[in-house]
């Protein structure tokens, strides 16, 4: 008989009762070091006082009012993003896929408003991930996610990642914009070449297209900057953010330049929960932490320390791990063994990680970790690799 919860996930047989910082406590009585952060989402770790208090206090006042009224928490949060980023205006919603839907709608509508209703197509990339709605599995373009769901939604063209010539060749009179992740997260923690991102900006300017960055996974401090594109020194016209934005509270945002944002006139787009008082209280609390003096320096210091340790791990266990890749605290270990096996072996050692595409083991710890947590994770990864190596040696011996 089917389980009461629909069977659409492969869950490890472990549940967590509570957490503190980068640690989660299992109902098996063990403690686990969380280097997955709920898929790059629990950016402040677990049991964070400031975040938990902000949510509890807001919940006691008012949880939801709808967008029929002003929401001061949302006005404040939007103004803070505008002050801290390329954006002129912000739309709040509830998930990464929903933010990307809003981003694509805003690009199409802005082209239409500019006198180009024929410009509806978006150039996307092989290895991308943009979410699970019907339109976003089409934007993702991965056959595995499309299978069985009928004809893909029209309007998305795919070209190889990091290949500017392919992008320029794919631009037609119907192209409205480009959507790219500055680091492909699900696709295998593959960073875009900074020159490639600069080339996309130039192509958009040349052909009158809008440049969209999907920073659902790379944004909100994960890369060591508020947004990962800042490392390349280019600005998008529109950007989607989610995952870490609420520190684990469900929330997302579309940030845009005025030319794109102004296309979303009253009645053109909306969402019932988006930008509610509770989510925005969480969002403001997260920003209090990541915009505080020195926090991003700490993230970059920790990221460099972790990366150096991972390079040593790869050198010591080259039979298991062959490469470190990524940016900031979004890092990947390319595996020789199946990455799902490596993930399960790490879990058995007490370390939570997340598998990604291209046979990569992804590490996306809470941004609040320090060197001590890195040392602990590196030791657990070393143990994991040793046991794998032993298991393999055993297999060979038999």
Residue ranges binding ligand PLP (CB under 6 A): 95-97, 100, 129-131, 181, 185-186, 214, 216-217, 242-243
What region does 225 belong to: left with phi over 0, alpha with psi -120 to 50, or beta? beta
Shortest Å distance, C-beta 323 to ligand PLP: 21
Yes or no: say if 211 and 383 are a contact pair by the CB < 8 Å rule. no
β-pairing, 360-363 with 354-356? antiparallel
Residue sitting closest to ligand PLP (CB):
96
* Distance, C-alpha 122 to centroid of its chain: 20
Yes or no: say if 253 and 90 are a contact pair by the CB < 8 Å rule. yes
Shortest Å distance, C-beta 173 to ligand PLP: 28
Shortest Å distance, C-beta 132 to ligand PLP: 6
Shortest Å distance, C-beta 39 to ligand PLP: 6
Q: Between residues 132 and 198, which has the closer beta carbon with respect to ligand PLP?
A: 132
Centre a 10 Å sphere on the Cβ of residue 314 and count the other Cβ atoms it contains.
18
Shortest Å distance, C-beta 95 to ligand PLP: 4
Burial degree of 55 (CB within 10 A; 0-12, 13-18, 19+): buried
Shortest Å distance, C-beta 50 to ligand PLP: 23
Q: Between residues 153 and 389, which has the closer beta carbon with respect to ligand PLP?
A: 153
Shortest Å distance, C-beta 29 to ligand PLP: 31
| Cβ contacts of 169 within 8 Å, gap of 6 or more | 159
β-pairing, 351-352 with 31-34? parallel
Q: For residue 278, what are the CA distances in angstroms to 50, 55, 90, 217?
A: 14, 6, 17, 22
Checking 309-315 for CB contacts under 8 A at 24+ apart, the result is: 309/374, 309/375, 309/378, 310/363, 310/378, 310/381, 312/378, 313/378, 313/381, 313/382, 313/385
Q: Between residues 242 and 335, which has the closer beta carbon with respect to ligand PLP?
A: 242
Q: Between residues 252 and 381, which has the closer beta carbon with respect to ligand PLP?
A: 252
Q: Between residues 185 and 199, which has the closer beta carbon with respect to ligand PLP?
A: 185
Q: Between residues 73 and 184, which has the closer beta carbon with respect to ligand PLP?
A: 184
Half-sphere exposure of 183 (CA within 13 A, CB side): 27
Element containing residue 40 per DSSP (H, E): helix 37-40
Shortest Å distance, C-beta 105 to ligand PLP: 15
Yes or no: say if 25 and 19 are a contact pair by the CB < 8 Å rule. yes
Yes or no: say if 265 and 294 are a contact pair by the CB < 8 Å rule. no
Q: Between residues 85 and 100, which has the closer beta carbon with respect to ligand PLP?
A: 100
Q: Between residues 42 and 95, which has the closer beta carbon with respect to ligand PLP?
A: 95
Helix axes of 277-290 and 295-316: crossing angle, nearest 10 degrees = 80
| Cβ contacts of 151 within 8 Å, gap of 6 or more | none
Q: Between residues 179 and 385, which has the closer beta carbon with respect to ligand PLP?
A: 179
Shortest Å distance, C-beta 182 to ligand PLP: 9
Q: Between residues 71 and 97, which has the closer beta carbon with respect to ligand PLP?
A: 97
Shortest Å distance, C-beta 79 to ligand PLP: 24
């Amino acid at each position: 008989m089917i389980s009461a919860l629909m069977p659409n996930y492969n869950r490890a047989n472990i549940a967590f009762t509570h957490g503190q910082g980068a640690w989660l406590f299992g109902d098996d009585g063990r403690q686990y070091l969380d280097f997955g952060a709920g898929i790059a989402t629990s950016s402040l770790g677990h049991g964070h006082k400031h975040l938990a208090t902000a949510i509890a206090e807001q919940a006691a006042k008012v949880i939801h009012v709808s967008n029929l009224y002003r929401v001061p928490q949302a006005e404040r949060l939007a103004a803070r993003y505008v002050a801290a980023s390329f954006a002129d205006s912000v739309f709040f919603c509830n998930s990464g896929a929903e933010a990307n839907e809003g981003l694509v709608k805003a690009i199409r509508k802005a082209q239409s408003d500019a006198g180009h209703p024929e410009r509806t197509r978006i150039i996307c990339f092989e290895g991308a991930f943009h979410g699970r709605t019907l339109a976003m599995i089409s934007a993702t373009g991965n056959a595995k996610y499309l299978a069985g769901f009928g004809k893909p939604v029209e309007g998305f063209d795919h070209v190889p990642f990091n290949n500017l010539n392919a992008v320029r060749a794919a631009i037609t009179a119907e192209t409205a914009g480009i959507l790219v992740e500055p680091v492909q997260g699900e696709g295998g923690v593959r960073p875009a070449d900074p020159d490639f991102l600069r080339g996309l900006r130039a192509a958009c300017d040349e052909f009158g297209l809008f440049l969209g960055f999907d920073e659902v996974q790379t944004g909100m401090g994960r890369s060591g900057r508020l947004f990962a594109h800042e490392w390349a020194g280019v600005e998008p016209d529109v950007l989607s953010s989610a995952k870490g934005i609420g520190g684990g509270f469900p929330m997302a945002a579309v940030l845009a330049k005025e030319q794109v944002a102004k296309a979303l006139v009253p009645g053109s787009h909306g969402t019932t929960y988006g930008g509610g008082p509770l989510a925005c209280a969480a969002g403001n609390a997260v920003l209090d932490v990541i915009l505080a003096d020195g926090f991003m320096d700490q993230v970059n210091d920790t990221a460099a320390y972790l990366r150096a340790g991972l390079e040593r791990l790869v050198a010591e266990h080259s039979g298991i791990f062959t490469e470190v890749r990524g940016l900031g605290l979004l890092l990947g270990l390319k595996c020789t063994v199946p990455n799902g096996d490596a993930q399960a072996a790490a879990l058995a050692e007490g370390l939570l990680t997340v598998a990604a595409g291209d046979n990569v083991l992804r590490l996306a710890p809470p941004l609040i970790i320090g060197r001590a947590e890195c040392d602990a994770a590196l030791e657990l990864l070393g143990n994991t690799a040793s046991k794998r190596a032993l298991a393999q040696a055993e297999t060979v011996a038999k």
